[in-house]
Amino acid sequence: MLGGISIWQLLIVLGIVILIFGTKKLRNLGSDLGGAVKGFKSAVGEEEQKKQDGEETAQHRVAHDTNEEPLDTSSKATQSSGADEKSERK
């Protein structure tokens, strides 16, 4: 027994609901409810995926920043000034 409700009482209530709403409306209600649950699960999954992607991006940035070597800008400046002198000679 389910809290004083027998299986026969549940079947009678189910029969009355089917008579009132009809099987077509109940089927539509069930499919709408299933679609809503499916949409909710996909939305939750997308949010978790975005969160994981954000964490991976942050971890990648940290790893990239720690492995990054300082740039030597003085050699580039020397090379570009040498190229300017060559173009001025022509």
Name the residue with tokens 């090379």.
79
Q: What is the pLDDT of residue 56?
A: 72
Domain positions in the chain: 8-64
Which stretches within the chain are classed as H helix? 7-67, 73-89
Taking the complete model, does pTM exceed 0.75, yes or no? Answer: no
- Taking the CA of residue 36 as centre, how many other CA atoms within 13 Å lie in the half-sphere pointing to its CB? 6
Q: Using one digit for the tens of pLDDT, what is the confidence trace for 9-36?
A: 999 999 999 999 898 998 999 999 999 9
Q: Using one digit for the tens of pLDDT, what is the confidence trace for 26-71?
A: 899 999 999 999 999 999 888 888 877 777 776 666 666 666 555 5
